[in-house]
Structure 1
Amino acid sequence: MKQQRKDAKRRVAESSMSARLGVATNTTSPFVRKDRQFKTYKPITRSIRWLRQPLNEHLHSGGPVRALTIAKRSTAGRNHHGRVTVRGRGGGHRRRIRLVDFYRWESGEQEVVRIEYDPGRSAHIALVQHKLTGAQSYILAPDGLRAGDTVQSYRQGIKGDAAKAATSTSNVVDEIVSSPDGTPLSTDPAAPQTAAAPGSASSSSLDLGIFRTQAIRPGNFLPLHLIPIGTTIHSITMHPLGPAKMVRSAGTFGQLVAFSARTGAGESHAQVRLQSGEVRLIPSTCCAAIGTVSNKDHQHRRLGKAGRSRWLGRRPKVRGVAMNACDHPHGGGRGKSKSNMHPRSIYGHLTKGARTRKPGTRGGNQMVVRERPRRNGKRLGKP
């Protein structure tokens, strides 16, 4: 019976998610347990009984590059008058802000030195180093990126004049898929490399196809009109010359749905489905990174105790029904009554169910093609 128990335990260990992914499951301590994609602890204290952290064996264990960080000066939710404008903030551990490059102007191949933890965001960041200049910078790490990989940005043709972006990016395509003497290469490996007819539609489509096979890789940064439909993207810019502002949190991704013309000058805008289910128009000269943002198990972690929330700079919250009537709209009364009113904030605004912005079809955001589905059950799954 003892041998049967050992064999059963061995079979469970071999069929676990960690064994399939190649992650080492050797316990560094008799109180640490690594099973599947999470790390748990033996509950020798109450604070670690429910603690659960994602397994990130590939993260760098040391500190960041000091030159790429600045000190974080916390305001504890107060404005320049010293009044509290955001409640529930204060304290926390000392942090240094990592200067992440959301512009990606530098062209050329960059090698991933390591993947690091960033205390200021939920996703992981990657330290990349240019192969020619040796310049280092931080970028958002997509899922699956590891040390030793190569990433590249194809945004350099857009800088200076957004109107000439299509021409400049086509020059980038010609530069990448051309032979040293300037003649475009063929897609058939068995066929000899001969020059195609200049200006022909077939040669341009072949060039674009070869370019996509080389450029559509996780971590690469390129304009939307060079990305095929259906590709998962993140770090999307909202302006052709601006930084990446959308789809930057852990585990999120957008999807390129279609191209549409708003001004009558060709496919000027791209339709992108965001993580909330909203489909919105983005200029096709804007750029995005390929892949899904890393640390997708961030939402499944458990802090385990209230002190860990204090380390993150979160102060305790008090329920509105526990306050007096002069302090909150739900306060006062006998028992746990909120006076038969809809849930409201401390300032009297509706908390649940109220629209946060106008619909795009009635004088609102004209860039929204389809609104995000409302999750309260009334409009679930409907546009």
Structure 2
Amino acid sequence: MASLWVRPLRVTLRARTLVPAPWIPVALNASTSALHTSAVGRRAVPLGSGAAVPVQADGTPMLETPVDVPAPRPVVSRRERRAAQKAQRQQAKLQKARNTISARLGVVEQRTAPLVRTDHQFKTFKPITPSIRWLRYPLAPHLHRGRPVRALTRAKRSTGGRNHHGHVTVRGRGGGHRRRLRLVDFYRWESGEQRVVRIEYDPGRSAHIALLEHSETQRLSYILAPDGLSAGDTVQSYRTMKQDMGSTSSLDLGIFRTHAIRPGNVLPLRLIPIGTTIHAISLRPFGPAKLVRAAGTSGQLVAFSSYRKSAVSEADDASPSQPTQSTHAQVRLASGEVRLVPIDCCATIGLVSNVNHQHRRLGKAGRSRWLGRRPKVRGVAMNAVDHPHGGGRGKSKSNKVPRSIYGYPLKFQRTRKPGTKKGNRMVVRERPRRNGKRAGKA
């Protein structure tokens, strides 16, 4: 039996076309004039035929049958594909972390980025760029990473330091990141126990804020978070307490103070013992908190005294304890100033959170622009028509008295009248001036 090399055809699945296959040896059968392939299942072309017809292994022609084409894959966007890949990588990392020896032993390791350097107070970065060389942030792992409660916020409309006439009223303002104002409760009228849900970051102030939930009404509210307050703690407001509570026996008052003097609780000044650290102090009995609200600040209750409109006597200033007819409390502020506050005003126990805020470093000018602060131009760098220090051929203001851009005295000048005769009568002792020296009364 003679053999012949032929080149069969192969049907592709996708295009349904005949594609030439490699050459294979076939055996020639004279009776049937057909081609028999040496391998079972190969397709060959009969000799003498003009058209390419596929044949089976026994020599009979094979009719073309429809081929099952697989269904097209669903179209996946690049963003969805990357999200799926990221989820797979995170799942792999999580599975790897679960299988570590430290995880089996119950030892939790704090994982940070390779460029982050942390200590017990601040977070710094490896200086791979000039903008992060001097960057330093206070550590705050207890802060909530999500968004605030929408109902307790409102939109902040940027003014760029201009009033309704378009005139610049505050220089150096403009731009900044878009933000929403948190509606902080500075009144604390609602009595009853409130649970701290979480501690949040507030972009509109330096201190942190705490989200409270009332145990009975489930009403949510924001307050200034005192230092040491964490999620799960409880606070309470005693602002609506009766005024005759301070006249009760000393035993009952001592028991009440033992229970109520805790960080975050609000009490009238008449119920707070002398020497207690306080913040968020109101200036009117029914008014909101006005004093000591910045991060890390605190006041101290010094004494109780009676106030006379004519003058404040020295004997009342040195009063070590609460007299029977006292009407005001002496509070030492963070600046060192001692002033009188009515005893019916309220204050919060503790000092304000985020104590290390004053030690942070932004690292670059762009972060100041994110906060809405524009560059400040020196007066000597301006022209004479723009600033009292401007003009001249040099970089000096010459023999001019230091003044602001509006012509007001700038250095070594009082910002308010001293003493109790023409100044603020509620100030008992003025804040330190000139290397810690206090100015005397007029």
| Aligned mate of 1:343, from 386, 399, 402 | 402
- Give me the whole-angstrom Cα distance separating, in 2, the residues matched to 1:303 and 1:343: 29
Unpaired segments ≥5 residues, structure 1:
1-23, 158-164, 171-200
SS at match of 1:272: strand
Identity %: 74
SS at match of 2:383: coil
SS at match of 2:249: helix
Q: Within the alignment, does 1:94 sit opposite 2:178 as a pair? A: yes
CA positional deviation for 1:26: 3.4
The residue type paired with residue 259 of structure 2 is: Q
Q: Within the alignment, does 1:307 sit opposite 2:363 as a pair? A: no
The answer for the alignment partner of 1:284 in structure 2 is 343
Q: Deviations over 1:143-167 (max 9, x none)?
A: 000000010000023xxxxxxx522
Q: Within the alignment, does 1:296 sit opposite 2:380 as a pair? A: no
CA positional deviation for 1:36: 2.7
CA positional deviation for 1:342: 2.6
- Give me the whole-angstrom Cα distance separating, in 1, the residues matched to 2:169 and 2:306: 42
Q: Within the alignment, does 1:380 sit opposite 2:425 as a pair? A: no
| Aligned mate of 1:268, from 306, 322, 327 | 327
The residue type paired with residue 190 of structure 2 is: E
Q: Within the alignment, does 1:40 sit opposite 2:85 as a pair? A: no
| Aligned mate of 1:352, from 380, 392, 411 | 411
Q: Is the 8 A contact 1:27 1:34 kept in 2?
A: no
Q: Is the 8 A contact 2:430 2:438 kept in 1?
A: no
Q: Deviations over 1:285-337 (max 9, x none)?
A: 00000000000100000000111000000011111110011110111112211
Q: Deviations over 1:211-256 (max 9, x none)?
A: 0000000000010000000000000000000000000000000000
Q: Within the alignment, does 1:146 sit opposite 2:230 as a pair? A: yes
SS at match of 1:147: coil
TM-score of the superposed pair, with normalisation by structure 1: 0.81
Q: Within the alignment, does 1:111 sit opposite 2:195 as a pair? A: yes
The answer for the alignment partner of 1:135 in structure 2 is 219
Q: Within the alignment, does 1:222 sit opposite 2:222 as a pair? A: no
CA positional deviation for 1:381: 5.0
TM-score of the superposed pair, with normalisation by structure 2: 0.70
Structure 1 segments, 4+ long, off by >4 Å, are none
The residue type paired with residue 166 of structure 1 is: Q
Q: Deviations over 1:99-135 (max 9, x none)?
A: 0000000000100000000000000000010111111
The answer for the alignment partner of 2:428 in structure 1 is 369
Q: Is the 8 A contact 1:360 1:367 kept in 2?
A: no
The answer for the alignment partner of 1:238 in structure 2 is 283
SS at match of 1:115: strand
The residue type paired with residue 195 of structure 2 is: E
The residue type paired with residue 152 of structure 2 is: L
Q: RMSD of aligned C-alpha atoms?
A: 1.7
The answer for the alignment partner of 1:206 in structure 2 is 251
Q: Which has the higher contact order (CA 8 A, sep 6+)?
A: 1
Choose 1 or 2 for highest CA Rg. 2
The answer for the alignment partner of 1:166 in structure 2 is 243
Q: Deviations over 1:181-200 (max 9, x none)?
A: xxxxxxxxxxxxxxxxxxxx
The answer for the alignment partner of 1:247 in structure 2 is 292
SS at match of 1:297: helix
Unpaired segments ≥5 residues, structure 2:
1-107, 309-322
